[in-house]
Amino acid sequence: MLSDALAALPVRPFAVMNAVGLVAFALVGATKAIREEFDLFGVTVVGLATAFAGGATRDLLVGRVPLVLRSFGEISLALIGVALAVGAYVVLDAADEHPATLVSDAIGLAAFATTGAIVATNAGVSGFGVITVATINAVGGGALADLLLGRQPFVLFDDFYASCAVIGGAAYWLSAGVGGHPRTAAAVCAGVTVCARLLAVSLDWHLPTAQRLGRRWRRR
Amino acid sequence: MLSDALAALPVRPFAVMNAVGLVAFALVGATKAIREEFDLFGVTVVGLATAFAGGATRDLLVGRVPLVLRSFGEISLALIGVALAVGAYVVLDAADEHPATLVSDAIGLAAFATTGAIVATNAGVSGFGVITVATINAVGGGALADLLLGRQPFVLFDDFYASCAVIGGAAYWLSAGVGGHPRTAAAVCAGVTVCARLLAVSLDWHLPTAQRLGRRWRRR
Amino acid sequence: MLSDALAALPVRPFAVMNAVGLVAFALVGATKAIREEFDLFGVTVVGLATAFAGGATRDLLVGRVPLVLRSFGEISLALIGVALAVGAYVVLDAADEHPATLVSDAIGLAAFATTGAIVATNAGVSGFGVITVATINAVGGGALADLLLGRQPFVLFDDFYASCAVIGGAAYWLSAGVGGHPRTAAAVCAGVTVCARLLAVSLDWHLPTAQRLGRRWRRR
């Protein structure tokens, strides 16, 4: 069984997901800042902010001192992501258009939705709380990066971005609710989120606006 | 006596004010997002953020896990506000210009200034702390909504908006300071805030700018 | 020895640095808001937000109720800074171009980097944590002020602004790490930060962008 195989793995889902998310989101954030011609300090700050804002908010919401302040590993991982972004830009000259950035973002989104769901579940919040913390953990970094870059947060406009984290958080909560092992719930959450995001991008999914609903209503 | 009548009511002022504020502010935030042609997910997020940002900040400031993460009722009330906004838009087609939105905003402002003052007083902060937490609780949601929509927060420009919450918070603190029952203090705070706001809108009150003071000074 | 002289002074470094930072940053924030023709309430709010945002974030990060909510002195000091800004504008008519504003900002930056390093060290976070909290304490107010004014935070563009706080925080951590008295570490941190900032402004220091690194790389 997949479930048994996962439960037997010698890794903690939080540590794995957290490391993956930090590298992926630092890379995405730094790439955005490079495109805006920030200097290397600004690029590093936007990369670190993208990597840490979601998790720090998650920790504050459940009443913990943010993990990033308590460990050296967190910053090191994020600096690797920033270095990858700078290296890719210097060598390739067009990293910000690369599909790798899009995939990296989807992976970060899924990894952080999962860490958020794990921490929230351990903190004993309600089901809505689990979904909210998972979503904030997943999209907080991207939203702060956009605010720092002086743009409207794309998480509000990209139809299926935050929605994917909501779906993933709900999947974690359901999976844990029916008695699934935390490791299974983590795998389900990450898998559902990353698949939903990549499908949404490939198939160009859209949600309706109130304007569209209104036109449809009045046309009747 | 009004004071005795209020003290005898079988309701807790926090629960009432909180419910009123959540519905009112979710409606206002969702209406703003509809006007910007966000999709329904974005409308819901801006509505929820407007309803919860102030209270979550208040809870973090006094060292509590935000109420919204601990209960199901909070989200349900805010979703009612979002549904009202979408329904009003679909049926009326011009809800964002409607005076009802303005009144709803004034009511939310008063309700959240009151919940902020109650929580801060219970947390034992200073008098300035009570006024600050009441004001942040009242205007935090609107300010975040504007940042999410990529605008300068109107709470800084609208002359008598945040000022009304400051006055209301001071009224709560004075009322509790002279030995008033918490329920009386809550009624005073909510009444003062909503009256100040509606008067400011109707009579077009303004505060002077430093430029105006400077011209007046140099004219002497 | 300087170190012994400092250790003998009858003042607590946190209280001094905090007071200096509050007045300096409230003055800078209020001056920015006056230039944007905000009314006096908006000017006060931006001044207070600039003075308090960094410290409140610092306190939340290490799990304390923000100091500003617990004392009357904090607000009084910040209001002095706001009053100085309004007075300077009304009398001088061009305070926002004045070098005094720039020096006030450098002093506030150094003072708040120091309070951040002190609080973080006392909270027992990691070395990266000390530098991060010092930097957030120092630049958080300026960044929030810019967001409230609807601009991109200048701390990301001004090449040697946040970098100075990073250097100062590292100096505090090193100084405390080699066994220096907290008062010596505080003096070192404040001195290094303010000198780095004033030198950066006078000599127009710059950090390279990824674009420049890329051009240099491809030119080889």
Chain segment A41-87, per-residue pLDDT in tens: 889 989 999 999 999 999 999 989 999 898 888 899 999 999 999 98
Residue of chain B with shortest Cα separation from A133:
B69
Question: A6: pLDDT confidence band, cut at 50, 70 and 90?
Answer: low
Q: How confident is the model at residue B7 (pLDDT cuts 50, 70, 90)?
A: low
Instruction: Give residue B22's pLDDT.
Output: 96
Look at residue A96 in the predicted model and tell me its pLDDT.
Answer: 58
Q: What ipTM, to 2 d.p.?
A: 0.73
**B59-115 pLDDT per residue, tens:** 999 989 999 898 888 899 999 999 999 988 877 765 556 788 889 999 999 999 999
The answer to whether the Cβ–Cβ distance between C207 and A39 falls below 8 Å is yes
pLDDT of residue A150: 72
Shortest CA distance to B172 belongs to which of B193, B186, B191?
Answer: B186
The predicted pLDDT at position C10 comes to 61
Cβ-Cβ contacts under 8 Å, B91 against chain A:
217
pLDDT in tens, chain C (220 residues): 555 665 566 668 899 999 999 999 999 999 999 988 888 888 998 999 999 999 999 999 998 999 989 888 888 999 999 999 998 887 776 555 678 888 999 999 999 999 999 999 999 999 989 999 999 999 999 988 887 787 777 776 666 888 899 999 999 999 998 988 999 999 999 999 999 999 998 888 777 777 777 777 777 6
Asked if the C-beta of B66 comes within 8 angstroms of chain A's C-beta atoms, the answer is yes
Residue B39 — pLDDT band, cuts 50, 70, 90? Answer: confident
Q: Are A207 and A159 in contact (CB under 8 A)?
A: yes
Higher pLDDT, residue B125 or B99: B125
Closest chain B residue by Cα to residue C39: B209
| Of C181, C199, C56, C172, the residue nearest C114 (C-alpha) | C172
Length of chain C: 220
To test the contact with chain A by mutation, choose from B69, B84, B148 the residue with the greatest count of A C-beta atoms within 10 A, namely B69
Average pLDDT over residues B123-130: 91
Q: Does residue A27 register a pLDDT over 80?
A: yes
pLDDT of residue A30: 94
Most C CBs within 10 A among B59, B126, B154, hence the mutation to make, goes to B126
Q: Is the pLDDT of residue A11 over 90?
A: no
Best of A137, A156, A207, A220 to disrupt the B interface (most B CBs within 10 Å) is A156
Domain boundaries, chain A: 11-207
Q: Taking residues A194-202, report their average pLDDT.
A: 92
Q: Measured between beta carbons, which residues in chain A are less than 8 angstroms from residue B64? A: 63
A125·B90 Cβ contact <8 A: no
Cα-based distances in Å from A154 to A113, A119, A143, A147, A217 = 17, 25, 7, 10, 28
Closest by Cβ to C90, choosing from B61, B151, B213: B213
Q: What is the pLDDT of residue C2?
A: 56
Which two tokens mark B182? Answer: 């918490």
Best CA proximity match to A29, nearest among A61, A4, A1, A51: A51
> pLDDT at position C112, please?
97
Mean pLDDT computed over A134-160: 82
User: Is residue B35 pLDDT above 80, yes or no?
Assistant: yes
B residues 117..136 contacting C (CB < 8 A): 120, 123, 125-129, 132-133
DSSP state of C160: T
Please tell me if residue A65 touches chain B, with a CB cutoff of 8 Å: no
Half-sphere exposure of A185 (CA within 13 A, CB side): 26
SS (H, E, C) chain B: CHHHHHHHCCCCHHHHHHHHHHHHHHHHHHHHHHHCCCEHHHHHHHHHHHHHHHHHHHHHHCCCCCHHHHCCHHHHHHHHHHHHHHHHHHHHCCHHHCHHHHHHHHHHHHHHHHHHHHHHHHHCCCHHHHHHHHHHHHHHHHHHHHHHCCCCCHHHCCCCCHHHHHHHHHHHHHHHHCCCCHHHHHHHHHHHHHHHHHHHHHHCCCCCEHHHHHHHHHHC
